[in-house]
Structure 1
Amino acid sequence: MILLISDLHLQEERPDITRAFVDLLDGRARHARALYILGDFFEAWIGDDAMTPFQQSICQALRRLSDSGTAVYLMHGNRDFLIGKAFCQAAGCTLLADPSVVQLGGEPVLLMHGDTLCTRDVGYMKMRRYLRHPVTLWVLRHLPLAARRRLARKLRSESRAQTRMKATEIVDVTPEEVPKVMAAHGVRTLVHGHTHRPAIHKLVVDDQPARRIVLGDWDRRGWALQVDEQGFALAPFEFS
């Protein structure tokens, strides 16, 4: 069994989500061969050198799972792209490139956070290219902590305001982009998060049946994609 999750947006202000995540680690994930976290794991991350006690507790929980024998893979999201090697080493997880192709259920599967599929959101894509540029990343990691905290608050506030103002189709994936990306990677299954619209979409790629599986965000309930001998099953679960 393999589990895939995304968009937990972990933060101290949502202890219900944290409890549900720890319950998953202590329960189903202990029986899984691997756990994949496809971005926006944390609501915000300003650097491995700025871990709060809360974030350290999450790191330790991941380490316990990793030490138990479950492989843990983590992909950057748009809110936690500054997670680095120090966190991953401490948590016992492997940082995955976005995108990555992995073998799941006997087939190559493309894993993405999903934000790069939203090409109609021109303003966001421009900002993303700027923030992910190696020079920008170096500068961000070397800013004083106080400056990073102020910048993170500003970016989060602007992101919320802009998302509310944008049309639904702008902040969702571009339909034409999906088959193009899947064909380029030679896959028939794509799994991603980011859009907070959990579903399994049927489509055609290179005249072959294909599917796009969208992971759900953790807010009123949790979401996980389970891959086992029965196939791919996307399902929500209630917080205890």
Structure 2
Amino acid sequence: MKITILFIMHTLFTADLHLREQEPEITNGFLRFLKLNVYKADALYILGDFFEYWIGDDDPQPLHREIAAALRGIATAKVPCYFIHGNRDFLLGKRFAKECRMTLLPQEKRISLYGHRIIIMHGDTLCTDDIDYQRYACKVHNQIIQKIFLCLPICTRLNIVAKMRCRSQMINRCKPEAIMDVNPQEVINVLERNNADWLIHGHTHRLAVHDIAIQNGKRAKRAVLGAWHHNGSMLSVTPEGMELIEFPL
């Protein structure tokens, strides 16, 4: 008797894992996620803040080698992996991407999947009401500043990142929650500028799918990926639509 196996087309998105040596349960959860979900997918997109911080591709942390090996595994299985930088790992470079066999994408990327027109990004550029953060982002994305930083000894870079993170946490505690979320008009601007039906992003950690009215009465959707704190989070896109899924680590 002939048995027909049906393979359901689906592409997976995730973001905001904030991987670091001090939280091995998140790393282990991600490795299980690859084995149980990604090997069956058409592709994996990681939309930033994959790591808690990134001080350069020359950082010898064992965690980086472990993750690179795992991502090479899905590449060997013919599942492509794509990466968009976040506000924590914007220095992740071509050297590490090559080690992982993943493709680096620009800050904002339009893709077509199963007939859906989709814009993907990390999401921090949508938070235009947070003026202080946007000013900070302009400074740290300056290529001259980045080159100087990457020339410093690793221990110096680690100290700088620790101080910056401490300062950021103190500032964020004093900010209203609303200004750290996306600006609704900026969301519409991005969708209309790219003639897209969906927007997928992370950054805010506010797991949800939003229905949005755009020009000429058209409707669009905005999917927000959750952070990997107590649970993992992924978005599955199929020819039929999208589904946000949380799962235990």
What secondary structure does 2:199 align onto?
Answer: strand
Aligned partner of 2:66 among 31, 44, 57: 57
Which residue in 1 is equivalent to 2:240? 230
Which residue in 2 is equivalent to 1:94? 103
- Identity over aligned pairs, percent: 39
For structure 1, the residue ranges without an aligned partner over 5 or more in a row are: none
Matched, 1:139 2:139: no
On the 8 A contact 1:224/1:234 being kept in 2, the answer is yes
What secondary structure does 1:183 align onto?
Answer: helix
Following the alignment from structure 1 to structure 2, what is the Cα–Cα distance between the partners of residues 183 and 51?
43
TM-fit CA distance, 1:92: 0.5
What is the TM-score with the length of structure 2 in the denominator? 0.93
Which residue in 1 is equivalent to 2:118? 109
TM-fit CA distance, 1:230: 3.1
Aligned partner of 1:130 among 135, 139, 156: 139
What is the TM-score with the length of structure 1 in the denominator? 0.97
Which residue in 2 is equivalent to 1:201? 210
Over aligned residue pairs, what C-alpha RMSD do you find?
1.0
After superposition, residues 23-38 of structure 1 pair within 5 angstroms as 23-38=32-47
On the 8 A contact 2:115/2:239 being kept in 1, the answer is no
Equivalent position amino acid for 2:199 in 1? L
TM-fit CA distance, 1:106: 1.2
Aligned partner of 1:14 among 15, 20, 23: 23
Following the alignment from structure 2 to structure 1, what is the Cα–Cα distance between the partners of residues 110 and 80?
16
Matched, 1:118 2:155: no
TM-fit CA distance, 1:176: 1.4
What secondary structure does 1:49 align onto?
Answer: coil
TM-fit CA distance, 1:51: 3.2
On the 8 A contact 1:105/1:231 being kept in 2, the answer is no
Which structure would you say has the larger Rg? 2
Following the alignment from structure 1 to structure 2, what is the Cα–Cα distance between the partners of residues 210 and 56?
39
For structure 2, the residue ranges without an aligned partner over 5 or more in a row are: 1-9
Moved over 3 A (4+): none
Matched, 1:156 2:142: no
Which residue in 1 is equivalent to 2:52? 43
